Amino acid sequence: MSFLFRLRKGANFDNIETLVSPRAHVQGHLRAEGAVRVDGSIEGEVEVKGDLVIGEKGIIQGNIKVENILIGGSVEGNITARGRAEILSSGEVRGDIIAATLVVEEGGLFIGNSRMHREKDAKRETRNKASAEGTQYSKKAQGD
C-alpha cells in the first residue's frame, strides 16, 4: 500500500491539488490551499491550508505550517500541524514539531522537540491570534 493513503483521522491525501515533482526545486515562500505533495525540493517557508505529503525523495528546508503532514522524505525546519504529523520509516525531521497527534514509525528519524495540543485548542489559538492582530491594527490606525 502506498504511504500516500496511510494517514488517518481527517487527512485527505487522495486529492492532491499541487505537486512539486522530483526534478523541481522551489526557492522562496510556498503557499497553497488543498493537499500538496512534494517529491522535489523546497528551500523556504511552506504554508498549506490543507494536508502535505513529503515523498521519499522530497526535501524541505524551512518551516512548515499545515493541517496534517506525512513525511517520507526529509525536513530541516520546524513543523506546526493543527492535526496529525506522521514520520514514516523513510522520513527524517530535524526541527521542532507542534501537533495534536505525533507518530514516528520505527526507523523514522526525529531530532528536535515536540509539543502536543488538542485540535480544538489550536483552532481557538488561531482565532485569538487573529483577533489580537486585528486589535493591534486598530490601535495603530488610531495612533496608539
Residue 139 within a domain:
no
What are the two backbone dihedrals, phi and then psi, of residue 119, each rounded to the nearest 5 degrees?
A: -55, -40
Cell numbers for 142, please give them: 488610531
Residue 123 within a domain:
no
Q: How many domains does the chain have?
A: 1
Residue pair 38/22 in contact (Cβ under 8 Å)? The answer is no
Residue 125 within a domain:
no
Residue 126 within a domain:
no
| pLDDT at residue number 113 | 98
Residue 143 within a domain:
no
Residue 122 within a domain:
no
Residue 136 within a domain:
no
Above pLDDT 90, what percent of the chain? 69
Q: How many CB atoms lie within 10 A of CB 9?
A: 10
- pLDDT beyond 50 at 57: yes
Residue 140 within a domain:
no
H or E, element range at 35: strand 35-38
- Give dist(CA 73, CA 137) in Å, integer: 40
Angle at 119 (CA atoms; ends 118, 122), nearest 5 degrees: 90
Residues spanned by the domain of 83: 3-117
Give per-residue pLDDT as tens, 100-142.
999 999 999 999 999 998 766 655 555 555 555 554 444 444 5
pTM: 0.76
Cell numbers for 127, please give them: 482565532
